[in-house]
A and B are shown apart, each in its own frame.
Chain A
Amino acid sequence: MPIKQKNHRASDLAGTAYAHISAAIIVCVFAFMLIVILRYGFGALSLRFLIEEPDPSALGASKGGILTPLIGTVVLTLIGILIAFPFALATAIYLGFYAKKGGFNTLVKGAVDILSGVPTVVIALFALLVFTLPQFGFFSVMIEGVEGTNRAYGKSFLVAGITMAIMILPFVIKSMEEALKAVPASYMDASLALGATKWRTIRKVILGAARDGLTTGVILGMGRIVGDTAIVWLTLGGSIRMTGRKPWYAPENWLSTLKNGGSTLTSYIYYASPAGEGNQFDVAFGASLVLIAIILLLNLAATLIGKAGAHKNG
Protein backbone atom coordinates (compact mmCIF):
# COMPACT_ATOMS: atom_id res chain seq x y z
CA MET A 1 0.00 0.00 0.00
CA PRO A 2 1.47 3.37 -1.01
CA ILE A 3 -0.01 5.25 1.94
CA LYS A 4 -0.28 4.21 5.54
CA GLN A 5 -2.72 5.56 8.05
CA LYS A 6 -1.01 7.37 10.95
CA ASN A 7 -1.61 6.31 14.50
CA HIS A 8 -1.99 9.33 16.79
CA ARG A 9 -2.89 7.38 19.90
CA ALA A 10 0.46 7.75 21.71
CA SER A 11 0.98 11.48 21.05
CA ASP A 12 -2.62 12.17 21.99
CA LEU A 13 -2.14 10.37 25.28
CA ALA A 14 1.11 12.23 26.01
CA GLY A 15 -0.43 15.61 25.20
CA THR A 16 -3.46 14.96 27.36
CA ALA A 17 -1.29 13.88 30.28
CA TYR A 18 0.97 16.94 29.86
CA ALA A 19 -2.01 19.33 30.02
CA HIS A 20 -3.54 17.59 33.03
CA ILE A 21 -0.30 17.35 34.99
CA SER A 22 0.51 21.03 34.39
CA ALA A 23 -2.89 22.06 35.70
CA ALA A 24 -2.45 19.79 38.71
CA ILE A 25 0.97 21.31 39.51
CA ILE A 26 -0.53 24.80 39.58
CA VAL A 27 -3.21 23.64 42.00
CA CYS A 28 -0.59 21.92 44.19
CA VAL A 29 1.65 25.00 44.36
CA PHE A 30 -1.29 27.20 45.28
CA ALA A 31 -2.58 24.73 47.86
CA PHE A 32 0.89 24.38 49.39
CA MET A 33 1.27 28.15 49.68
CA LEU A 34 -2.14 28.53 51.20
CA ILE A 35 -1.46 25.76 53.72
CA VAL A 36 1.86 27.30 54.77
CA ILE A 37 0.37 30.77 55.12
CA LEU A 38 -2.57 29.42 57.09
CA ARG A 39 -0.38 27.15 59.21
CA TYR A 40 1.93 29.97 60.31
CA GLY A 41 -0.38 32.94 59.99
CA PHE A 42 -3.62 31.72 61.46
CA GLY A 43 -2.25 31.58 64.98
CA ALA A 44 -1.32 35.25 64.83
CA LEU A 45 -4.80 36.31 63.80
CA SER A 46 -6.96 37.83 66.48
CA LEU A 47 -8.93 40.97 67.05
CA ARG A 48 -6.03 42.28 69.10
CA PHE A 49 -3.71 41.69 66.11
CA LEU A 50 -5.94 43.86 63.92
CA ILE A 51 -6.57 46.78 66.26
CA GLU A 52 -3.26 47.24 68.07
CA GLU A 53 -0.38 49.30 66.79
CA PRO A 54 2.83 47.42 66.15
CA ASP A 55 5.51 47.59 68.81
CA PRO A 56 8.77 47.19 66.94
CA SER A 57 10.91 47.86 69.97
CA ALA A 58 10.36 44.37 71.31
CA LEU A 59 12.86 42.48 69.18
CA GLY A 60 11.95 38.98 68.30
CA ALA A 61 8.73 38.99 70.23
CA SER A 62 5.50 39.27 68.31
CA LYS A 63 4.23 42.16 70.33
CA GLY A 64 1.66 44.53 68.95
CA GLY A 65 -0.68 44.23 66.01
CA ILE A 66 -0.92 45.54 62.49
CA LEU A 67 -3.27 48.48 62.92
CA THR A 68 -1.03 51.17 61.40
CA PRO A 69 0.14 49.01 58.45
CA LEU A 70 -3.49 48.13 57.75
CA ILE A 71 -4.54 51.78 57.91
CA GLY A 72 -1.48 52.63 55.81
CA THR A 73 -2.55 50.22 53.09
CA VAL A 74 -6.07 51.65 53.06
CA VAL A 75 -4.92 55.28 53.04
CA LEU A 76 -2.30 54.71 50.35
CA THR A 77 -4.76 52.80 48.16
CA LEU A 78 -7.34 55.57 48.45
CA ILE A 79 -4.84 58.34 47.67
CA GLY A 80 -3.44 56.40 44.71
CA ILE A 81 -6.77 55.55 43.13
CA LEU A 82 -8.23 59.01 43.73
CA ILE A 83 -5.32 60.57 41.87
CA ALA A 84 -5.17 57.94 39.11
CA PHE A 85 -8.90 57.71 38.41
CA PRO A 86 -9.59 61.07 36.72
CA PHE A 87 -6.40 60.91 34.61
CA ALA A 88 -6.97 57.30 33.60
CA LEU A 89 -10.59 57.91 32.67
CA ALA A 90 -9.79 61.01 30.64
CA THR A 91 -6.95 59.25 28.83
CA ALA A 92 -9.12 56.24 28.07
CA ILE A 93 -11.79 58.57 26.70
CA TYR A 94 -9.17 60.30 24.57
CA LEU A 95 -7.87 56.99 23.20
CA GLY A 96 -11.34 55.63 22.63
CA PHE A 97 -13.15 58.60 21.15
CA TYR A 98 -10.87 61.49 20.24
CA ALA A 99 -7.58 60.01 19.06
CA LYS A 100 -7.06 59.89 15.32
CA LYS A 101 -4.89 57.26 13.71
CA GLY A 102 -1.15 57.91 13.83
CA GLY A 103 0.84 60.75 15.35
CA PHE A 104 0.06 61.72 18.91
CA ASN A 105 -2.20 58.72 19.39
CA THR A 106 0.68 56.32 18.71
CA LEU A 107 2.80 58.29 21.15
CA VAL A 108 0.18 58.02 23.91
CA LYS A 109 -0.33 54.30 23.31
CA GLY A 110 3.43 53.72 23.29
CA ALA A 111 3.87 55.67 26.51
CA VAL A 112 1.13 53.64 28.19
CA ASP A 113 2.70 50.36 27.04
CA ILE A 114 6.20 51.31 28.14
CA LEU A 115 5.02 52.68 31.49
CA SER A 116 3.24 49.41 32.17
CA GLY A 117 6.54 47.57 31.70
CA VAL A 118 8.67 49.75 34.00
CA PRO A 119 9.43 47.89 37.25
CA THR A 120 7.82 49.56 40.24
CA VAL A 121 11.16 49.95 42.01
CA VAL A 122 12.37 52.10 39.12
CA ILE A 123 9.25 54.25 39.31
CA ALA A 124 9.87 54.55 43.07
CA LEU A 125 13.48 55.60 42.50
CA PHE A 126 12.36 58.24 40.03
CA ALA A 127 9.72 59.52 42.47
CA LEU A 128 12.30 59.74 45.23
CA LEU A 129 14.53 61.83 42.97
CA VAL A 130 11.70 64.22 42.15
CA PHE A 131 10.09 64.52 45.54
CA THR A 132 13.31 65.17 47.45
CA LEU A 133 13.60 68.41 45.47
CA PRO A 134 12.97 71.28 47.87
CA GLN A 135 10.32 72.65 45.47
CA PHE A 136 8.19 69.59 46.20
CA GLY A 137 8.80 69.82 49.93
CA PHE A 138 5.13 70.36 50.69
CA PHE A 139 4.38 66.73 49.73
CA SER A 140 6.61 65.51 52.54
CA VAL A 141 8.73 67.46 55.06
CA MET A 142 11.93 69.45 54.72
CA ILE A 143 15.06 68.06 56.26
CA GLU A 144 15.97 70.28 59.16
CA GLY A 145 18.94 70.58 61.40
CA VAL A 146 21.51 69.37 58.91
CA GLU A 147 23.97 72.10 58.02
CA GLY A 148 24.12 72.95 54.29
CA THR A 149 21.22 70.69 53.28
CA ASN A 150 18.23 72.05 51.46
CA ARG A 151 16.35 68.93 50.43
CA ALA A 152 12.91 67.49 51.16
CA TYR A 153 12.65 64.18 52.91
CA GLY A 154 10.72 62.81 49.91
CA LYS A 155 8.96 60.04 51.80
CA SER A 156 5.33 60.34 52.80
CA PHE A 157 1.87 58.98 52.19
CA LEU A 158 1.29 61.77 49.67
CA VAL A 159 4.47 61.01 47.75
CA ALA A 160 3.84 57.27 47.83
CA GLY A 161 0.21 57.83 46.78
CA ILE A 162 1.22 59.92 43.77
CA THR A 163 3.84 57.32 42.85
CA MET A 164 1.30 54.52 43.16
CA ALA A 165 -1.04 56.48 40.91
CA ILE A 166 1.67 56.72 38.25
CA MET A 167 2.41 53.02 38.63
CA ILE A 168 -1.20 51.90 38.11
CA LEU A 169 -2.10 54.45 35.42
CA PRO A 170 -1.26 52.22 32.44
CA PHE A 171 -3.22 49.26 33.81
CA VAL A 172 -6.25 51.32 34.72
CA ILE A 173 -6.15 53.15 31.37
CA LYS A 174 -6.03 49.89 29.43
CA SER A 175 -8.78 48.28 31.41
CA MET A 176 -10.97 51.39 31.08
CA GLU A 177 -10.25 51.61 27.37
CA GLU A 178 -11.48 48.03 26.98
CA ALA A 179 -14.58 48.86 28.99
CA LEU A 180 -15.35 51.85 26.76
CA LYS A 181 -14.70 49.82 23.61
CA ALA A 182 -17.21 47.22 24.77
CA VAL A 183 -20.04 49.78 24.64
CA PRO A 184 -21.99 49.13 21.43
CA ALA A 185 -21.46 51.77 18.73
CA SER A 186 -25.23 51.90 18.36
CA TYR A 187 -25.50 53.75 21.69
CA MET A 188 -23.23 56.46 20.32
CA ASP A 189 -25.31 56.65 17.14
CA ALA A 190 -28.54 56.82 19.12
CA SER A 191 -27.41 59.79 21.17
CA LEU A 192 -25.64 61.69 18.38
CA ALA A 193 -28.60 61.26 16.02
CA LEU A 194 -30.75 62.98 18.63
CA GLY A 195 -28.47 66.00 18.46
CA ALA A 196 -26.50 65.44 21.66
CA THR A 197 -22.92 66.70 21.48
CA LYS A 198 -20.11 64.19 21.46
CA TRP A 199 -19.01 65.12 24.97
CA ARG A 200 -22.54 64.88 26.33
CA THR A 201 -22.91 61.50 24.62
CA ILE A 202 -19.72 60.24 26.23
CA ARG A 203 -20.65 61.61 29.63
CA LYS A 204 -24.30 60.61 29.75
CA VAL A 205 -24.48 57.52 27.58
CA ILE A 206 -21.11 55.85 27.15
CA LEU A 207 -19.84 56.24 30.73
CA GLY A 208 -23.15 54.98 32.08
CA ALA A 209 -23.11 51.93 29.85
CA ALA A 210 -19.47 51.22 30.69
CA ARG A 211 -19.79 51.83 34.41
CA ASP A 212 -19.30 48.23 35.48
CA GLY A 213 -16.21 47.81 33.33
CA LEU A 214 -14.80 51.09 34.58
CA THR A 215 -15.38 50.04 38.19
CA THR A 216 -13.58 46.78 37.51
CA GLY A 217 -10.63 48.79 36.23
CA VAL A 218 -10.59 50.84 39.43
CA ILE A 219 -10.70 47.74 41.60
CA LEU A 220 -7.89 46.04 39.70
CA GLY A 221 -5.82 49.22 40.10
CA MET A 222 -6.50 49.17 43.84
CA GLY A 223 -5.37 45.56 43.96
CA ARG A 224 -2.03 46.52 42.44
CA ILE A 225 -1.49 49.28 45.00
CA VAL A 226 -2.37 46.98 47.89
CA GLY A 227 0.19 44.43 46.71
CA ASP A 228 3.12 46.68 45.84
CA THR A 229 6.18 46.72 48.08
CA ALA A 230 9.01 48.52 46.28
CA ILE A 231 7.22 51.85 46.07
CA VAL A 232 6.25 51.64 49.74
CA TRP A 233 9.75 50.81 50.87
CA LEU A 234 11.37 53.64 48.89
CA THR A 235 8.79 56.42 49.10
CA LEU A 236 6.93 55.74 52.34
CA GLY A 237 9.96 54.79 54.36
CA GLY A 238 11.05 51.88 56.48
CA SER A 239 9.33 52.87 59.68
CA ILE A 240 6.59 50.63 60.96
CA ARG A 241 4.96 53.43 62.92
CA MET A 242 3.32 56.55 61.64
CA THR A 243 6.08 59.15 61.75
CA GLY A 244 3.87 62.25 61.81
CA ARG A 245 2.69 64.14 64.87
CA LYS A 246 1.15 62.01 67.61
CA PRO A 247 -1.53 60.85 67.87
CA TRP A 248 -1.65 60.13 64.17
CA TYR A 249 -5.42 59.56 64.13
CA ALA A 250 -6.39 62.92 65.62
CA PRO A 251 -8.02 65.05 62.90
CA GLU A 252 -5.73 68.01 63.58
CA ASN A 253 -2.76 65.74 62.84
CA TRP A 254 -4.12 64.14 59.64
CA LEU A 255 -2.16 66.44 57.35
CA SER A 256 0.99 65.77 59.32
CA THR A 257 0.33 62.04 59.10
CA LEU A 258 -0.09 62.25 55.32
CA LYS A 259 3.06 64.35 54.93
CA ASN A 260 5.07 61.81 56.88
CA GLY A 261 5.96 58.18 56.52
CA GLY A 262 4.49 54.98 57.83
CA SER A 263 3.99 51.44 56.70
CA THR A 264 1.65 49.20 54.79
CA LEU A 265 0.94 45.51 55.11
CA THR A 266 3.58 44.73 52.49
CA SER A 267 6.30 46.75 54.15
CA TYR A 268 5.29 45.30 57.50
CA ILE A 269 5.68 41.79 56.11
CA TYR A 270 9.12 42.68 54.77
CA TYR A 271 10.03 44.24 58.11
CA ALA A 272 8.87 41.23 60.11
CA SER A 273 10.51 38.70 57.81
CA PRO A 274 14.08 37.43 58.26
CA ALA A 275 15.10 39.75 55.42
CA GLY A 276 13.98 42.74 57.45
CA GLU A 277 14.49 43.58 61.10
CA GLY A 278 12.88 40.74 62.90
CA ASN A 279 12.57 37.04 62.54
CA GLN A 280 8.88 36.85 63.19
CA PHE A 281 7.42 34.36 60.80
CA ASP A 282 4.07 34.11 62.52
CA VAL A 283 3.20 37.83 62.41
CA ALA A 284 4.59 38.12 58.86
CA PHE A 285 2.29 35.30 57.76
CA GLY A 286 -0.56 36.72 59.80
CA ALA A 287 -0.22 40.01 57.95
CA SER A 288 0.11 38.07 54.67
CA LEU A 289 -3.16 36.38 55.39
CA VAL A 290 -4.87 39.76 55.90
CA LEU A 291 -3.24 41.10 52.73
CA ILE A 292 -4.33 38.13 50.65
CA ALA A 293 -7.84 38.40 52.07
CA ILE A 294 -8.01 42.05 50.97
CA ILE A 295 -6.79 41.23 47.46
CA LEU A 296 -9.17 38.27 47.17
CA LEU A 297 -12.05 40.51 48.27
CA LEU A 298 -11.11 43.12 45.68
CA ASN A 299 -10.92 40.47 42.94
CA LEU A 300 -14.21 39.00 44.08
CA ALA A 301 -15.81 42.44 43.88
CA ALA A 302 -14.42 42.92 40.37
CA THR A 303 -15.76 39.53 39.28
CA LEU A 304 -19.18 40.09 40.82
CA ILE A 305 -19.50 43.52 39.19
CA GLY A 306 -18.42 42.04 35.86
CA LYS A 307 -21.00 39.25 36.17
CA ALA A 308 -23.76 41.64 37.19
CA GLY A 309 -22.94 43.75 34.13
CA ALA A 310 -22.95 40.75 31.78
CA HIS A 311 -26.29 39.68 33.22
CA LYS A 312 -27.79 43.13 32.82
CA ASN A 313 -26.70 43.55 29.21
CA GLY A 314 -27.15 39.92 28.19
Chain B
Amino acid sequence: MDNTSKNIAIRIKNVTCSYGGKPAVRNASLDVPQNSICAFIGPSGCGKTTLLRSVNRLNDLTEGFALSGSIEINGENIYGNDAASHVEALRRNIGMIFQQPNPLPTGILKNMYMPIKAHYTGEKKYFYEKAVEKLKTAGLYDEIEHRLDRTALSLSGGQQQRLCIARALMLEPKIMLFDEPCSALDPIATYKIEDMLLELKKERTMIIVTHNMEQARRVSDYTAFFYQGEIVEAGRTNDVFFNPKTELLDQYIRGRFS
Protein backbone atom coordinates (compact mmCIF):
# COMPACT_ATOMS: atom_id res chain seq x y z
CA MET B 1 0.00 0.00 0.00
CA ASP B 2 0.95 3.58 -0.27
CA ASN B 3 3.09 4.33 2.74
CA THR B 4 5.01 7.30 1.56
CA SER B 5 2.56 10.16 1.98
CA LYS B 6 1.05 9.15 5.31
CA ASN B 7 2.20 7.61 8.56
CA ILE B 8 1.38 3.99 9.11
CA ALA B 9 -0.93 3.47 12.10
CA ILE B 10 -1.21 -0.29 11.93
CA ARG B 11 1.50 -2.44 10.41
CA ILE B 12 0.75 -6.14 10.15
CA LYS B 13 3.90 -8.12 9.31
CA ASN B 14 4.02 -11.82 8.41
CA VAL B 15 1.24 -12.72 10.77
CA THR B 16 0.21 -16.35 11.01
CA CYS B 17 -2.60 -17.33 13.42
CA SER B 18 -3.85 -20.73 14.41
CA TYR B 19 -6.44 -22.25 16.71
CA GLY B 20 -5.21 -25.42 18.36
CA GLY B 21 -2.71 -25.94 15.54
CA LYS B 22 -5.26 -25.33 12.80
CA PRO B 23 -4.13 -22.31 10.78
CA ALA B 24 -6.65 -19.49 10.34
CA VAL B 25 -4.45 -16.74 8.92
CA ARG B 26 -1.28 -17.39 6.90
CA ASN B 27 1.58 -14.98 6.51
CA ALA B 28 -0.53 -11.84 6.29
CA SER B 29 1.15 -8.47 5.81
CA LEU B 30 -0.67 -5.18 5.55
CA ASP B 31 -0.15 -1.51 6.31
CA VAL B 32 -3.02 0.74 7.32
CA PRO B 33 -2.17 4.46 7.04
CA GLN B 34 -3.33 6.91 9.66
CA ASN B 35 -6.83 8.38 9.42
CA SER B 36 -8.00 5.98 6.78
CA ILE B 37 -10.48 3.14 6.61
CA CYS B 38 -9.32 -0.27 5.51
CA ALA B 39 -11.93 -2.87 4.56
CA PHE B 40 -11.37 -6.61 4.96
CA ILE B 41 -13.41 -8.51 2.38
CA GLY B 42 -13.59 -12.14 1.40
CA PRO B 43 -15.73 -15.25 1.82
CA SER B 44 -16.79 -16.55 5.24
CA GLY B 45 -14.18 -18.35 7.32
CA CYS B 46 -11.22 -16.87 5.49
CA GLY B 47 -9.54 -15.28 8.53
CA LYS B 48 -10.80 -11.69 8.37
CA THR B 49 -12.25 -11.65 11.86
CA THR B 50 -9.32 -13.60 13.30
CA LEU B 51 -6.89 -11.01 12.03
CA LEU B 52 -9.13 -8.17 13.19
CA ARG B 53 -9.36 -9.61 16.69
CA SER B 54 -5.58 -9.95 16.74
CA VAL B 55 -5.16 -6.20 16.40
CA ASN B 56 -6.48 -5.66 19.95
CA ARG B 57 -5.36 -9.08 21.17
CA LEU B 58 -8.93 -10.15 21.84
CA ASN B 59 -8.01 -13.65 20.68
CA ASP B 60 -5.68 -14.02 23.65
CA LEU B 61 -8.43 -15.56 25.75
CA THR B 62 -9.38 -18.12 23.13
CA GLU B 63 -7.92 -21.44 24.20
CA GLY B 64 -5.34 -22.77 21.77
CA PHE B 65 -4.84 -19.50 19.91
CA ALA B 66 -1.31 -18.81 18.71
CA LEU B 67 0.16 -16.01 16.62
CA SER B 68 3.53 -15.50 15.01
CA GLY B 69 4.80 -12.41 13.23
CA SER B 70 4.20 -8.92 14.48
CA ILE B 71 1.54 -6.25 14.57
CA GLU B 72 2.87 -2.76 15.14
CA ILE B 73 0.66 0.03 16.34
CA ASN B 74 2.29 3.43 15.99
CA GLY B 75 5.60 1.62 15.63
CA GLU B 76 5.27 -0.59 18.70
CA ASN B 77 4.95 -4.36 18.39
CA ILE B 78 1.88 -5.38 20.40
CA TYR B 79 3.07 -8.99 20.35
CA GLY B 80 6.51 -8.06 21.67
CA ASN B 81 8.12 -9.70 24.65
CA ASP B 82 6.44 -7.84 27.51
CA ALA B 83 3.42 -6.67 25.54
CA ALA B 84 1.01 -9.13 27.12
CA SER B 85 1.13 -7.21 30.40
CA HIS B 86 -0.05 -4.03 28.67
CA VAL B 87 -2.97 -5.66 26.93
CA GLU B 88 -5.59 -3.66 28.87
CA ALA B 89 -3.88 -0.41 27.95
CA LEU B 90 -3.76 -1.55 24.35
CA ARG B 91 -7.47 -2.31 24.26
CA ARG B 92 -8.28 0.94 26.02
CA ASN B 93 -6.84 2.77 23.04
CA ILE B 94 -8.56 0.63 20.41
CA GLY B 95 -12.32 0.72 20.11
CA MET B 96 -14.08 -2.37 18.82
CA ILE B 97 -17.58 -2.81 17.44
CA PHE B 98 -19.00 -6.28 16.95
CA GLN B 99 -21.35 -7.95 14.53
CA GLN B 100 -24.12 -8.25 17.09
CA PRO B 101 -24.65 -4.99 18.96
CA ASN B 102 -23.56 -5.80 22.51
CA PRO B 103 -24.80 -3.20 24.94
CA LEU B 104 -24.82 -4.61 28.47
CA PRO B 105 -28.20 -5.36 30.05
CA THR B 106 -28.21 -2.21 32.14
CA GLY B 107 -29.10 1.46 31.71
CA ILE B 108 -28.03 3.46 28.66
CA LEU B 109 -25.98 5.89 30.74
CA LYS B 110 -24.47 3.05 32.75
CA ASN B 111 -23.30 1.53 29.49
CA MET B 112 -21.65 4.83 28.63
CA TYR B 113 -19.95 5.08 32.03
CA MET B 114 -18.70 1.50 31.98
CA PRO B 115 -15.51 1.97 29.93
CA ILE B 116 -14.48 5.18 31.63
CA LYS B 117 -15.12 3.82 35.11
CA ALA B 118 -12.94 0.81 34.32
CA HIS B 119 -9.93 3.10 33.90
CA TYR B 120 -10.54 6.40 35.64
CA THR B 121 -12.05 7.87 38.74
CA GLY B 122 -13.62 11.26 38.50
CA GLU B 123 -16.61 13.48 38.97
CA LYS B 124 -19.94 12.19 37.84
CA LYS B 125 -20.70 15.51 36.17
CA TYR B 126 -17.68 15.13 33.91
CA PHE B 127 -18.68 11.56 33.00
CA TYR B 128 -22.20 12.72 32.22
CA GLU B 129 -21.09 15.55 29.98
CA LYS B 130 -18.73 13.29 28.13
CA ALA B 131 -21.44 10.66 27.68
CA VAL B 132 -23.83 13.24 26.26
CA GLU B 133 -21.15 14.52 23.89
CA LYS B 134 -20.41 11.02 22.58
CA LEU B 135 -24.09 10.16 22.26
CA LYS B 136 -24.44 13.29 20.16
CA THR B 137 -21.52 12.22 17.98
CA ALA B 138 -23.30 8.93 17.44
CA GLY B 139 -26.47 10.81 16.49
CA LEU B 140 -28.29 9.08 19.29
CA TYR B 141 -28.80 11.79 21.87
CA ASP B 142 -31.81 13.46 20.27
CA GLU B 143 -33.55 10.12 19.86
CA ILE B 144 -33.15 8.94 23.46
CA GLU B 145 -32.63 12.14 25.43
CA HIS B 146 -35.59 11.42 27.70
CA ARG B 147 -34.85 7.80 28.48
CA LEU B 148 -31.17 7.73 29.33
CA ASP B 149 -31.93 5.69 32.43
CA ARG B 150 -33.90 3.05 30.57
CA THR B 151 -32.26 -0.28 29.83
CA ALA B 152 -30.08 -0.32 26.73
CA LEU B 153 -31.89 -3.44 25.56
CA SER B 154 -35.00 -1.34 24.95
CA LEU B 155 -33.28 0.35 22.00
CA SER B 156 -33.62 -0.84 18.42
CA GLY B 157 -30.78 -2.80 16.82
CA GLY B 158 -29.42 0.20 14.98
CA GLN B 159 -29.63 2.37 18.08
CA GLN B 160 -27.88 -0.33 20.11
CA GLN B 161 -25.04 -0.44 17.61
CA ARG B 162 -24.68 3.36 17.68
CA LEU B 163 -24.72 3.18 21.48
CA CYS B 164 -21.83 0.69 21.27
CA ILE B 165 -19.92 3.11 19.03
CA ALA B 166 -20.61 5.98 21.42
CA ARG B 167 -19.51 3.77 24.31
CA ALA B 168 -16.24 2.96 22.55
CA LEU B 169 -15.69 6.67 21.88
CA MET B 170 -15.76 7.38 25.62
CA LEU B 171 -12.10 6.31 25.74
CA GLU B 172 -11.12 8.49 22.75
CA PRO B 173 -9.61 5.63 20.75
CA LYS B 174 -7.37 6.58 17.84
CA ILE B 175 -7.96 3.19 16.24
CA MET B 176 -11.32 1.49 15.81
CA LEU B 177 -12.11 -2.03 14.65
CA PHE B 178 -15.48 -2.95 13.17
CA ASP B 179 -16.47 -6.58 12.76
CA GLU B 180 -19.36 -6.58 10.27
CA PRO B 181 -21.04 -3.77 12.20
CA CYS B 182 -24.08 -3.55 9.94
CA SER B 183 -24.81 -7.15 9.06
CA ALA B 184 -27.59 -7.35 11.66
CA LEU B 185 -29.09 -3.96 10.73
CA ASP B 186 -31.59 -2.65 8.23
CA PRO B 187 -30.54 -0.34 5.35
CA ILE B 188 -31.41 2.93 7.11
CA ALA B 189 -29.52 1.99 10.26
CA THR B 190 -26.65 0.88 8.03
CA TYR B 191 -26.63 4.21 6.25
CA LYS B 192 -26.46 6.10 9.56
CA ILE B 193 -23.50 4.05 10.71
CA GLU B 194 -21.63 4.44 7.43
CA ASP B 195 -22.17 8.17 7.69
CA MET B 196 -20.65 8.13 11.14
CA LEU B 197 -17.66 6.10 9.95
CA LEU B 198 -16.79 8.78 7.43
CA GLU B 199 -17.09 11.41 10.15
CA LEU B 200 -14.95 9.44 12.61
CA LYS B 201 -12.28 8.86 10.00
CA LYS B 202 -11.18 12.48 10.18
CA GLU B 203 -9.08 11.70 13.21
CA ARG B 204 -9.11 7.95 13.50
CA THR B 205 -7.74 4.89 11.78
CA MET B 206 -10.26 2.14 11.21
CA ILE B 207 -10.52 -1.41 9.97
CA ILE B 208 -13.89 -2.77 8.94
CA VAL B 209 -14.67 -6.39 8.18
CA THR B 210 -17.62 -6.58 5.83
CA HIS B 211 -19.46 -8.99 3.59
CA ASN B 212 -21.18 -6.11 1.90
CA MET B 213 -19.02 -5.08 -1.04
CA GLU B 214 -21.06 -2.00 -1.72
CA GLN B 215 -20.28 -0.94 1.80
CA ALA B 216 -16.58 -1.63 1.38
CA ARG B 217 -16.60 0.51 -1.76
CA ARG B 218 -18.60 3.30 -0.14
CA VAL B 219 -16.63 3.78 3.06
CA SER B 220 -13.11 2.43 2.69
CA ASP B 221 -9.92 3.97 1.34
CA TYR B 222 -8.09 0.68 1.23
CA THR B 223 -9.28 -2.87 0.77
CA ALA B 224 -7.69 -6.20 1.56
CA PHE B 225 -9.13 -9.32 -0.05
CA PHE B 226 -8.82 -12.50 2.02
CA TYR B 227 -9.08 -16.01 0.70
CA GLN B 228 -8.49 -19.16 2.76
CA GLY B 229 -6.45 -17.39 5.39
CA GLU B 230 -4.28 -15.36 3.06
CA ILE B 231 -4.40 -11.77 1.92
CA VAL B 232 -4.59 -12.33 -1.81
CA GLU B 233 -4.76 -8.73 -2.84
CA ALA B 234 -4.61 -5.38 -1.08
CA GLY B 235 -4.50 -1.80 -2.23
CA ARG B 236 -6.52 1.35 -2.76
CA THR B 237 -10.19 0.50 -2.80
CA ASN B 238 -10.73 1.88 -6.29
CA ASP B 239 -7.88 -0.19 -7.70
CA VAL B 240 -9.02 -3.32 -5.95
CA PHE B 241 -12.59 -3.03 -7.16
CA PHE B 242 -12.09 -1.68 -10.66
CA ASN B 243 -8.79 -3.18 -11.57
CA PRO B 244 -8.38 -6.52 -9.79
CA LYS B 245 -5.07 -8.21 -10.47
CA THR B 246 -6.07 -11.75 -9.62
CA GLU B 247 -8.67 -13.99 -11.20
CA LEU B 248 -9.93 -14.93 -7.72
CA LEU B 249 -10.72 -11.35 -6.71
CA ASP B 250 -12.29 -10.67 -10.08
CA GLN B 251 -14.63 -13.59 -9.62
CA TYR B 252 -15.40 -12.62 -6.02
CA ILE B 253 -16.31 -9.08 -7.00
CA ARG B 254 -18.59 -10.42 -9.70
CA GLY B 255 -20.32 -12.52 -7.05
CA ARG B 256 -19.26 -15.86 -8.50
CA PHE B 257 -18.65 -17.15 -4.95
CA SER B 258 -19.09 -15.87 -1.46
Contact = CB atoms under 8 A, between A and B. Distances in A.
B164 interface: yes
Contact of B89 (A191, A195, A198): A195
B104 A195 contact: no
Contact of A193 (B91, B104, B151, B153): B91
Contacts, number: 72
Main secondary structure of the interface of A (DSSP, over half): helix
Given A187-B102, A189-B102, A194-B91, A313 B153 contact: yes
Contacts of B98: 186, 189-190, 193
Interface stretch (A29-37, A67-75, A117-125, A200-208): A200-208
A93 to B, nearest CB: 14
A28 interface: no
A9 interface: no
Contacts of A190: 98, 102-104, 164
A20 interface: no
A197 B88 contact: yes
Contacts of B188: none
Interface residues of A toward B: which range?
Answer: 20 to 34
Contacts of A187: 102, 104-105
Contacts of B90: 195
Contacts of A186: 98, 100, 102
**Size band of the interface chain B makes with A:** 20 to 34
A192 B58 contact: yes
B105 A195 contact: no
B168 interface: yes
Given A189-B98, A313-B153, A195 B119 contact: yes
B164 A209 contact: no
A312 interface: yes
A252 B81 CA distance: 61
B203 to A, nearest CB: 19
5 contacts: A186-B100, A194-B171, A196-B118, A209-B105, A313-B153
Given A312-B105, A312-B151, 14 more contacts: A186-B98, A190-B102, A190-B164, A193-B98, A194-B91, A194-B115, A195-B171, A204-B114, A205-B104, A208-B104, A209-B104, A209-B105, A313-B105, A313-B153
